[in-house]
Homo-oligomer: A and B are copies of this chain.
Amino acid sequence: MAARHFKQMDFEHWDRFYRANFFNSLGGFKSLNLLGTRSASGQENLGLFFSVIHIGAHPPLVGVLFRPHTVPRHTLENIYDTKELTLNAVSRGMVRQAHQCAAKYERGVSEFEATGLTPWYSKAHKAPYVKQSLLKAGCTFVEKQHIQANDTILLIAKIREVYLEEKAIAQDGFIHHEQLQTVSVNGLDAYYTPKLIERLVYPRPDAPVKKREDD
């Protein structure tokens, strides 16, 4: 095993791009979602986020991390102002448009117009969805947590409605993202298509691990 050992002193000596690439990719594969918001004055915004996490199922909650100095804050400001956002899964055919949404456009420029993605509105929700996305969730702001160690914000939102292709839903509620061609990301710029290995039965201390038969 040709393993390298890196210590705190190495981290300090790396240039900031090397360090950012290394630690952004260390934890493993991430989800990516386009977050749609609208400002108080009605300006549409679409941001690319690698930091949406599952917080809970009942009530259905998601968390989104905002890093003040590296990510444009339009999305966060809009959520504070209007309390609404949408999550839109990114599928294989949308990768380059989604990536372009991370460019630092000025306030007043809509990433929808800049990238050719299409805003779409539901009856119940004021924030724009991405029409092309095959899994859309409309969320409302619940709370925020301030992480002191590096001045980041974890925003918590509640899911109030979901639009999803029926064929991707398994009998037990599991969403087969591979049937939506949803992609994964690692680091800041590497996109992946995941292939299912297997679903496993619920683990119990005294039972062997095995594949689910019903899926």
How many copies of this chain does one complex carry?
A: 2
Contact A172 B18 (CB under 8 A): yes
Does chain B have a CB within 8 A of A193?
A: yes
Q: Which residues of B contact A166 (CB under 8 A)?
A: 2-4
Q: A57-B24, A145-B154, A191-B200 are in contact. Are A163 and B5 (CB under 8 A)?
A: yes
Please measure, in the bound complex, the distance between the C-alpha atom of A134 and the C-alpha atom of B107, giving whole angstroms: 43
- Which residues of chain B come closer than 8 Å to A73, judged between CB atoms? none
Most buried by B among A16, A20, A106: A20
Q: Are A194 and B205 in contact (CB under 8 A)?
A: no
Instruction: Give every chain B residue within 8 A of A2 (Cβ-Cβ).
Output: 165-167
Bits for A12-33, please: 1 = Cβ < 8 Å to B, else 0: 0010111111111111111111
Interface residues on A, range: 35 or more
Q: Does A209 contact B (CB under 8 A)?
A: yes
Question: Given the complex of chains A and B, what is the CA–CA distance between A15 and B62 in angstroms?
Answer: 20
- B142, B161, B187, B192: the one contacting A174 at CB < 8 Å is B187
Q: Point out the residue from B11, B50, B103, B145 that lies within 8 Å of A203, measured CB to CB.
A: B103
Choose from B32, B174, B186 the contact partner of A190 (Cβ within 8 Å): B174
Interface residues of A in 163-201 (CB under 8 A from B): 163-167, 169-170, 172-175, 177-178, 182-184, 186-187, 189-201
Q: List 19 A-B contacts (CB under 8 A).
A: A3-B165, A4-B169, A18-B172, A23-B60, A26-B62, A26-B159, A26-B175, A28-B184, A30-B31, A50-B54, A53-B65, A56-B67, A63-B147, A97-B209, A101-B203, A142-B149, A147-B154, A154-B154, A177-B186
